[in-house]
Structure 1
Amino acid sequence: MRCFLPLLLVITTLLVAAPTYAADKANFSNLTLAKAQELLKSGDTRLTDLVDYYLSRIDKYDANGNKINSVAELNPALKQQIALIQTKLDDKKPLGTLFGAIVLLKDNIDAKGMVNSAGSWLMREHKPKQDAFVVSRLIAEDALILGKANLSEWANFRSSKSSSGWSSLYGQTLNPHDPTRSPCGSSAGSGAAIAADFALLAVGTETDGSVTCPAAVNGIVGIKPTLGLLSRSGIIPIAHSQDTAGPMTRTVTDAVIMLEAMMGEDPMDDAALAPISLSQHLKLGGLKGKRIGVMRNMMGYHPELDQVFNQQLAVFEKAGAIIVDNADIETKGKWGDAEYTVLLAEFKADLNQYLTQSKAPLKSLEDAIAKNIEFSPRTMPVFAQEIFIAAQAAPNLNEKAYLDALANSKLLTGVQGIDATLAKHNVDFLIAPTTAPGWKIDHINGDNYMGSAGSASAVSGYPHITVPMGKVQHMPVNISFVGAKLSEVVLVQAAYEFEQLTQARVSPKL
């Protein structure tokens, strides 16, 4: 469904005709940020070498070969960005924390010179005039923006029968571990691209599971931070009370450094929180003496997944942690209706505001509904738009139905949910399997979604980190670390030590 020719032409153009440097391209496989920076500082590796490595892999496996279809667009200003950063390196000028980081942005994040479509064919000509706040922070820290990643259209908020990773503009993203299986969503391209080594880092966004699920299903690290730590301005929204960007990387260290770099108090975002410092907590010893609650009622939907998780509990105990079993969130299952009411109401209001302020080709949600009908063979060949229609009929943000739903959803997931569970069992944080291994892509029935550990964190606005913990047959599976509001320090310590002790991430064989 995707036309590859334009992307291939761009790749061919951007493969820079440059001198051959001493760096061995094989050494670029699954780089960390620290290793990339070491190679660049040595002078033996040029930034063009790193970029060419990723462009070559995108050409070989994303646009051809396995046709993972995770990269939607390459940055037309790539050569200029490379020249600016390489000049800093050559002149030994001060560099930002993310120099050498080659980054993909989910295609619902504004970036100058590139389309921001939310995956919709109707938005194919929408080019924002300025960068989203998080993108400006990345560039300020000398990250190189490689391009845009495909996503589930409208961040998986158009139809209950959607197929994660499918968009009417770019088609279906595949899971690099098994191209017949889903990459989950909505940050499908971000997750698949990082797992497949098409970039060093990626930015995803989450309303409920859209960073953590594709991170888990593709076997990488994802962080959904506390609501407000990352600005929401310049990101096509679903719901302001839950939306956040988040880093998607191959290591906890890279995710934390990227998260820190994107933080900043944005005057355009009224939920903005002051930045917090996390990278100094990337050290061993953080698990010793910690009381860890196991959320058993967030499990039970996949026996092999539970088996992998149960085997990993010994890792925590060996590190000196105390496992507290059956630390269940007792309000599970009670917030779904309230959350859905909130999402519908906020989507209508927030999307209308974004479309108006951004001067996008669509003027409103109502306009999008009408044009999806008008161009339905192009925009709705796989699934419909019943969520759009429900959102258009949703209450306004000053109506009691919405205000009551918002208060109840926050209460049931926060104070009476995560907070109450932590207090009742006297634990520092909670763990469970993140979600089931990737299911078969199905354009008839939609996603076969079994369950996850992340909804309470998403609705409450509390942090959630997901880290690889092993495999179920040939598919990667992850473990979730869930905590109270602004408990990132505790979660980072735990996630980092677990990662270092297990080294459980597996690379796909493309």
Structure 2
Amino acid sequence: MNLDAATIPDLQARMADGTITAVDLTEAYLARIRELEPKLNSILFLDPTAVDQARASDERRRGGRTLGPMDGIPVLLKDNIDTHDLPTTAGSRALVAANATADAPLVRRLRDAGAVILGKTNLSEWANFRSTKPTSGWSAVGGQTSNPHVLDRNPSGSSSGSAVAVAASLAQVSIGTETDGSIVSPGGVNGIVGLKPSLGVIDGRGIVPISHEPDTAGPFARHVVDAAITLSVLAGRDFRPAEMSLRGRRIGVWTIDGTGDVWQQTLDTLGRAGAILVNVPPADQDTIGDNEWPALIAEFKRDLHAYLATRPGVPQTLDELITFNRNDPVELSKFGQELFEQAKAAPPTTDPTYRQQRATATELARGYIDGLITGEGLDAIIAPTNAPAWLIDYAVGDVEGVGSSTPAAVAGYPNITVPAGFVGALPVGVSFMAEKNADTRLLALAAAFERVADARRAPEFRPHQ
């Protein structure tokens, strides 16, 4: 099987005609995991029941009881999403002591749809919300995840392992989470599709939080159609778009320097396909971020404490986590816990200053997107998702550079990244964003761009560039 090229509809057709079985598909992915994981370090825990899950899918199919398009499809979950039968650690050794007591609602939806849960992926520890100078893709539980295109380059975060595993064809799709950039950035850096849906489309319970204000789960896939199918299962309603042409679509162009010739090539591709390109001003990400950041610090303490109360047997407060990390031989070996310390001292979310900061950030982010979509009559706004991946260097930390995730993240609006091209061997993505609940339209536009651009390449696992 050419796993890299196969889509979920392709695989379902082959399982329906008996060319392959769900067990064949699952074992093929497990074989790739055994072959490639030593290079990538993207998976924390494999589910020992994966083949049994696949066998149950095959039995349903033989009995004419297939559960839908995800039945028998192997999926990986970011390890901040609760599973009752596998650890949920957020990459922290502090959460290894006791499993979550129940599946997150999104996991139950996957199981009810017949998906095969392969296991849990590595991530930037605590979803990259522990240090002011972190290195994405590192956790104390899993170590460092590598970019599959160039192994000494960073995979971005925080959904590092979920993105890397899909890019390297270790699963058909995976689930990540985003507060601000943690789906679209690793999606772009690893050269795959990453969808951050509108806030509220997917049930956010049972996920280790940063903040319930912007946090959402979302799918990674090698093909837009697979992201749409997976979102439909996660949300419990159909987001699969009708085929759309780019001709006549009005696309706002938010240009950010730092992606070589890829951006101009992206605009040329859209223009040749008949899209109407409208230059738009850049978002004021600095002002949005200056208000959002202290709000996140306060929300993190509130929401983390509430989450920890659902996990008996692990530390229950930031104080206890801070103490655990200080006494652990691994946790602080690469970078510190400054954000934990700041959150410990943060005001409650009843504080008027906090309320003003959150309101200002949200108003600015929504105003930017809504104003352009409505005022310019746009179908979407596009921007570069990422600069080429940076070297893994714990002394320097993350040096991400280009990014456009903040307006959609803070607004709670949808954002999808699609492969746009390469700088050398390193992928760059283009992000499509729009107003709240425009998810289906964005999926259609992204699929149309994917068809005409044909920009994705399978990773080559180069040691360096």
DSSP-derived class of the 2:120 partner: strand
| 2:185 aligned residue | 213
Question: Where do 1:251-266 residues align within 5 Å?
Answer: 251-264=223-236
For 1:441-479, what per-residue CA distance to the aligned partner results, in whole angstroms no more than 9, with x for missing partners?
A: 011110111021111111111110100011111111110
| 2:21 aligned residue | 46
Q: Amino acid of the residue matched to residue 366 of structure 1?
A: D
Q: Which runs of 5+ in 1 are unaligned?
A: 1-25, 265-274
Identity of aligned residues (%): 40
| 1:350 aligned residue | 303
Distance, in Å, in 2 between the alignment partners of 1:330 and 1:172 is 32
What is the CA-CA distance between 1:509 and the residue it aligns to?
A: 1.7
For 1:170-219, what per-residue CA distance to the aligned partner results, in whole angstroms no more than 9, with x for missing partners?
A: 10000010110000000000010001111111000000000000000000
Q: Amino acid of the residue matched to residue 426 of structure 1?
A: G
| 1:422 aligned residue | 373
1:367 aligns with 2:350: no
| 2:11 aligned residue | 36
| 2:287 aligned residue | 334
| 1:312 aligned residue | 266
Pick 1 or 2: higher relative contact order, CA cutoff 8 A, min separation 6: 2
Distance, in Å, in 1 between the alignment partners of 2:157 and 2:268 is 31
Distance, in Å, in 1 between the alignment partners of 2:441 and 2:273 is 15
| 1:394 aligned residue | 346
Q: Amino acid of the residue matched to residue 264 of structure 2?
A: N
| 1:157 aligned residue | 129
Q: Amino acid of the residue matched to residue 434 of structure 2?
A: G
For 1:367-401, what per-residue CA distance to the aligned partner results, in whole angstroms no more than 9, with x for missing partners?
A: 101111121x2211000000110011111111112
Q: Which runs of 5+ in 2 are unaligned?
A: none
| 1:279 aligned residue | 240
Q: In the alignment, which of 412, 418, 428 is matched to residue 477 of structure 1?
A: 428
For 1:226-260, what per-residue CA distance to the aligned partner results, in whole angstroms no more than 9, with x for missing partners?
A: 10001110100000100000000000000011001
Distance, in Å, in 2 between the alignment partners of 1:450 and 1:317 is 27
TM-score scaled by length of structure 1: 0.88
1:508 aligns with 2:459: yes
What is the CA-CA distance between 1:76 and the residue it aligns to?
A: 2.7
DSSP-derived class of the 1:334 partner: helix
DSSP-derived class of the 2:188 partner: helix
For 1:283-334, what per-residue CA distance to the aligned partner results, in whole angstroms no more than 9, with x for missing partners?
A: 132x2222111112xx02x1xx152111221222222221112x02453321
Determine if contact 2:83/2:100 at 8 Å carries over to the other structure: yes
DSSP-derived class of the 2:299 partner: helix
Distance, in Å, in 1 between the alignment partners of 2:394 and 2:359 is 36
Q: Amino acid of the residue matched to residue 353 of structure 2?
A: A
Q: Amino acid of the residue matched to residue 324 of structure 1?
A: V
Distance, in Å, in 1 between the alignment partners of 2:5 and 2:92 is 31
| 1:183 aligned residue | 155
Q: Amino acid of the residue matched to residue 26 of structure 2?
A: V
What is the CA-CA distance between 1:360 and the residue it aligns to?
A: 4.6
Determine if contact 2:40/2:145 at 8 Å carries over to the other structure: yes
Distance, in Å, in 1 between the alignment partners of 2:286 and 2:378 is 22
What is the CA-CA distance between 1:89 and the residue it aligns to?
A: 1.4
Question: Where do 1:67-146 residues align within 5 Å?
Answer: 67-146=39-118
Determine if contact 1:76/1:113 at 8 Å carries over to the other structure: no
| 1:3 aligned residue | none
- Count residues in correspondence: 461
Distance, in Å, in 2 between the alignment partners of 1:473 and 1:164 is 21
Q: Amino acid of the residue matched to residue 296 of structure 2?
A: L
DSSP-derived class of the 2:261 partner: helix
Distance 1:332 1:152, change over 3 A: closer
Question: Where do 1:6-17 residues align within 5 Å?
Answer: none
| 1:241 aligned residue | 213
Determine if contact 2:94/2:314 at 8 Å carries over to the other structure: yes
Q: Amino acid of the residue matched to residue 387 of structure 1?
A: L
1:407 aligns with 2:359: yes
When structure 1 is superposed on structure 2, of 360-369 and 440-449 the one drifting more is: 360-369
DSSP-derived class of the 1:110 partner: coil
Distance, in Å, in 1 between the alignment partners of 2:422 and 2:287 is 31
DSSP-derived class of the 2:381 partner: strand
What is the CA-CA distance between 1:160 and the residue it aligns to?
A: 1.6
What is the CA-CA distance between 1:484 and the residue it aligns to?
A: 0.9
Determine if contact 1:175/1:182 at 8 Å carries over to the other structure: yes
What is the CA-CA distance between 1:153 and the residue it aligns to?
A: 0.2
Determine if contact 1:228/1:244 at 8 Å carries over to the other structure: yes
Q: Amino acid of the residue matched to residue 381 of structure 2?
A: L
Determine if contact 1:429/1:483 at 8 Å carries over to the other structure: yes
Distance, in Å, in 2 between the alignment partners of 1:434 and 1:462 is 15
Distance, in Å, in 2 between the alignment partners of 1:427 and 1:366 is 48
Q: Amino acid of the residue matched to residue 396 of structure 1?
A: P
Distance, in Å, in 1 between the alignment partners of 2:377 and 2:7 is 36
Determine if contact 1:76/1:114 at 8 Å carries over to the other structure: no
Determine if contact 2:380/2:432 at 8 Å carries over to the other structure: yes
DSSP-derived class of the 2:247 partner: coil
Question: Where do 1:458-473 residues align within 5 Å?
Answer: 458-473=409-424
What is the CA-CA distance between 1:365 and the residue it aligns to?
A: 1.6
Distance 1:197 1:330, change over 3 A: closer
When structure 1 is superposed on structure 2, of 98-107 and 327-336 the one drifting more is: 327-336
Determine if contact 2:74/2:173 at 8 Å carries over to the other structure: yes
Q: Amino acid of the residue matched to residue 467 of structure 1?
A: V
What is the CA-CA distance between 1:100 and the residue it aligns to?
A: 2.8
Distance, in Å, in 1 between the alignment partners of 2:32 and 2:452 is 30
Distance, in Å, in 1 between the alignment partners of 2:113 and 2:283 is 42
Q: Amino acid of the residue matched to residue 284 of structure 1?
A: M
Determine if contact 1:33/1:100 at 8 Å carries over to the other structure: no
Distance, in Å, in 2 between the alignment partners of 1:164 and 1:228 is 26
TM-score scaled by length of structure 2: 0.96
DSSP-derived class of the 1:468 partner: strand
